[in-house]
Amino acid sequence: MLSFSPIVFVNGVEDAPISPLDRGFAYGDGVFETMAMRGGHLPLLKWHYRRLRHSCDRLGIKFDQLELEQQLAQVLFAASQQDITDAVVKLIITRGVGGRGYAIPDVAETTLCIIIVPPPANFLKTNKTALNLFLCEHRLGRNKHLAGLKHLNKLEYVLARAEWQDENFSEGLLRDSQGWVVEGTSSNVFIVVDKVLLTPLVNHCGVAGVMRNCIIEHLAPFIARDVKELELTLDDIKQADEIFMCNSVMGIRPVESLEDCRWGSGLVTEELQQGLASLLAAKL
């Protein structure tokens, strides 16, 4: 079933409301994960849990993985009762309800929201579809304290995504305030130069994506390719042999164009796609 009404659970209760005093709503004080459910299974779940734990630790938000696992199982069961096997699952953890003001309350009960929504079009085939990139003018601010985290403060990305309406563009490329290429509006970017994988550092801004981490830690070693994390310029991107974008929902997708530059699906990108297909088939 690829079309259905969203399923929403808040703290284990279906369709429960979220308080307007919740710090996630009021201040973006929280983190989230977006996952692909394929065939009723959540691949890469261990990477998502690891990033959630790391993000909550960095922000000082209570993280109870056992509670999360129990609530997630409850929501996935509700989805299975509707014969939902392919979907996008979003986990949101906030610091919970607090009073007025930015000061962190002495006592706060974490809010956990789990949402299941229909997958995007061509969900099961997207890794074969090349992307046309839009070069965004909006720049990401540099803040090492939030760099790498998938936190709820996403207004920069909303503004960047608002820059184009042309459906020919599938994703936007973002730079930071100093002009370094960082990522896409909802994905990470890799380039290939002389068969070596290069991806921007995310130690000043940007998100350390789950698929990005999977490529660095698992897929690149699996196909015996080196990976380097470094600062990349727009010229570096345009002069690359191959370029692809990735996230846990879209998988790995080659880039066809950026401004006047053109690419095809290259050898290294195809090797990574094949490695990812094997990983997903193994349900790791």
What distance in Å separates the CA atoms of residue 120 and residue 107, rounded to the nearest whole number?
39
Region label for 113, one of left (φ > 0), alpha (ψ between -120 and 50) or beta (otherwise) = beta
* Contact predicate 199/212, CB 8 Å: yes
What sign does the CA torsion over 89, 71, 28, 15 have? Answer: positive
Q: How do strand 171-176 and strand 181-184 relate by DSSP bridges?
A: antiparallel
What distance in Å separates the CA atoms of residue 275 and residue 50, rounded to the nearest whole number?
21
What distance in Å separates the CA atoms of residue 191 and residue 126, rounded to the nearest whole number?
19
Question: Of 136, 84, 142, 146, which Cα lies nearest the Cα of 115?
Answer: 84
Sequence-distant (≥ 6) Cβ neighbours of residue 52 within 8 angstroms: 31, 33, 63, 65, 68, 91, 93
Residue for token pair 């065939």 = 39
- Phi and psi (nearest 5°) for 199? -140, 145
> Known catalytic residues?
34, 150, 183
